[in-house]
Structure 1
């Protein structure tokens, strides 16, 4: 069994290495690469409407993507992750991942009654975790670059450009994900979508809470008037201060988060180590008939503890 796990690890490592080599081989030079994905698509096509539709298609966005509660909510999470669906690559990774998960589950779980449900649960959790991590990383990157994007728009407005031209400048000058998302915002304004609706679509596509402040500020300014340059300056400073506060909170709670991760993974690591050194050590537990209930109860208690730890180290500010 150990030899099979070794072969599986070598297979996964070779697959990742081949993927990295292919990415390096087909990657264009940094000097000639566009600053964001939208501009790279526009280099090959001058039809802005087709580029706009192609970007929405890659992200899995259609006109009724927020109509149904549950499935559309899951689709919204996928859209906010920024992942682009590739059927062949997903099938390849899914097949390889399913084989590796089955080998690991077969090694760790001796009971056939529990093995299949655990295998199915892990196969469902891995894509969800991948999408969740990609979404969190993209939201963090967007929130970090948003004050800089507002500064770019602010300089354009101070030079006398209208608001759509300032948004278009952000789409050209900022890297992804800010550049492409503001590019989609520019396209929607060009094709007749109102500013309020376009900002709502932007907030729904990205998932950054700070965009609500931008939408409210622009909506109020459009309705009541005022110095838009000063409004964006204050908003940029507020967002930058909030991001710095979030970074401080993250650094202060780093010890708690590492402790939670270690305490959550330690039982599984210990079980795997004992299972490897003494394969028959847990056989009396499974043969007693109560092993499934004991493990289920322990997992429930661990889940409750993780929720409590999560609430302790994540709070509103």
Structure 2
């Protein structure tokens, strides 16, 4: 049976498309697999090592991939182009990471707020006749969340045979706070040199309280600048939205359709991001 010429062309075209798609899938398999592996490792680091949460990184990765697919479909429907799909997939990949970093930042803020009270509990335990490990156990039992979980994790490492100094170093690295590094460094120094542990803890608590007071003062003084940076960061998007929906949609669409117009818009957005980062950097003051 001889196929018509048009049918033959369709068959050949379909075969070529299939072969190219299969080749693209084979070539993209390893890079995509590596990206997924790195993303899963990032989730594991934040969830299990930083936040001490018993959440499967694999499940979060799967949900991220599902979200990327859904947002890619939405982007393709809205923009009616492959660029919209790519943008949607990129947004779907970024959102979970941003959310986890925000959760991590909130967790760290709570830990730092609870530190002075935790040191007061340690001081009370030491002055009641307990040693350092027993005082840490008291804090792990009666302290506030999430501080009690961090101390309990430290003590579990110690009970599994890790030296207390090393367990404190691991805890300082996991928490990532200069205040906790100061506390653990002072405790390690005391274990090597001796002295009145209760007085040492009281001095550390007073020092950290003063540091936090100065940090809060600086945050208050720089609040206006940080608010300005957020307004400046959002302003181009707001202006473009107002111009498109209320003033001249056709003119903006023509700008997006022109190569030079796209370049100018990308340049404006890039300069806006650089300005936002610069202002935030100026407003960030380490005490």
Distance, in Å, in 1 between the alignment partners of 2:170 and 2:103 is 20
Q: Hey, what does 1:85 align to over in structure 2? A: 55
SS at match of 1:282: helix
Distance, in Å, in 1 between the alignment partners of 2:243 and 2:77 is 15
The structure with higher relative contact order (CA 8 Å, sep 6+) is: 1
Contact 1:153 1:170 in 2 (8 A): yes
Structure 2: which 5+ residue stretches go unaligned?
1-37
Q: Hey, what does 1:218 align to over in structure 2? A: 187
Q: Hey, what does 2:105 align to over in structure 1? A: 136
Change (3 A) 1:279 1:254: same
Detail structure 1 runs of 4+ shifted over 6 Å in the superposition.
69-74
Count of residue pairs brought into register by the alignment: 247
Structure with larger Rg:
2
Q: Hey, what does 2:286 align to over in structure 1? A: 316
- What pairs with 1:118-267 in structure 2 (closer than 5 Å)? 118-267=87-236
Distance, in Å, in 1 between the alignment partners of 2:182 and 2:144 is 22
Distance, in Å, in 1 between the alignment partners of 2:69 and 2:214 is 41
RMSD of aligned residue pairs (Cα, Å): 2.8
Distance, in Å, in 2 between the alignment partners of 1:74 and 1:189 is 26
The alpha-carbon deviation at position 125 of structure 1 amounts to: 1.9
TM-score, structure 1 length as denominator? 0.69
Change (3 A) 1:100 1:120: closer
Distance, in Å, in 1 between the alignment partners of 2:70 and 2:239 is 23
Q: Which of 82-91 and 177-186 deviates more?
A: 82-91
Change (3 A) 1:72 1:98: closer
SS at match of 1:280: helix
Contact 2:40 2:61 in 1 (8 A): no
Distance, in Å, in 2 between the alignment partners of 1:92 and 1:70 is 12
The alpha-carbon deviation at position 114 of structure 1 amounts to: 3.5
Normalized per residue, which structure has more helix? 2
Q: Does 1:284 align with 2:254?
A: yes
Q: Hey, what does 1:14 align to over in structure 2? A: none
Q: Hey, what does 2:264 align to over in structure 1? A: 294
Change (3 A) 1:291 1:83: farther
